[in-house]
Amino acid sequence: MDLPDPYLPGAISLFEQLDKKLLVVLRDGRKLIGFLRSIDQFANLILEDVVERTFVDKFFCETSQGFMLIRGENVELAGEIDDNIPTNLTQVSPEEFRMIEDDFLARNPPKSLKRPTAAEEHEA
C-alpha cells in the first residue's frame, strides 16, 4: 500500500487547501464560496470573504456573507475551485436573478411531493 507522504487523512486533508478558494456545500444545499483560513478534525471551517451562490438554469447570483465559521456537522462537501475551468454559467445581479428564477419556475413548476387527492386523480 503506497500512501502519499505526508498522509493527511479525511478532514485534516483540507490543510492542503489552506488559503485556497473553496466551495462548501452545506447539508441544506446552500453553496458558500470563500477562502479557507483554518480547519480542525471535525471539519469545522473558517472562511473569509464568503459569498453565497444561488443557481438557476445557466445563471447564478452572489450575495456577500463576510467572515464565517461553519460547524463541521453542516458540511456536506468542500471542494477547491479552479477558476480556469469554463462553466458556461452567467453571473447576474440579484434583481435579474429574481426575474430569471420566477420565469424559470413558471416554465418548470416544481413537482408536488403531495399525494394527489381522489378528485385530482379522477380528473387525470
Applying CB under 8 A, the residues found at the interface with other proteins are: 1-4, 7-14, 17, 23, 25, 27, 29, 31, 43, 53, 55, 58, 60, 72-73, 75-83, 85, 87-89
Rounded Cα distance between 43 and 60, Å, is 27
- Least separation in angstroms between CB 89 and other proteins: 6
Name the grid cell of 5. 507522504
Q: Cell 471535525, residue?
A: 42
Nearer to other proteins, 1 or 119 (CB): 1
- Rounded to an integer, what distance in angstroms lies between the CA atom of residue 99 and that of residue 20? 33
Please report how close the Cβ of residue 115 comes to other proteins at its closest, in angstroms. Answer: 21
Cβ distance to other proteins smaller for residue 55 or 67: 55
* Cβ-based neighbour number of residue 45 at 10 Å: 25
Smaller CB separation from other proteins, 17 or 65: 17
Tell me which amino acid residue 79 is: G
How far apart are CB 65 and other proteins at their closest, in Å? 16
Backbone φ, ψ for residue 118 (5° rounding): -60, -40
Peptide bond just before 116 cis, omega within 30 deg: no
In whole angstroms, the minimum distance from the beta carbon of 63 to other proteins comes to: 15
Q: Which is nearer to other proteins, 12 or 46 (CB)?
A: 12
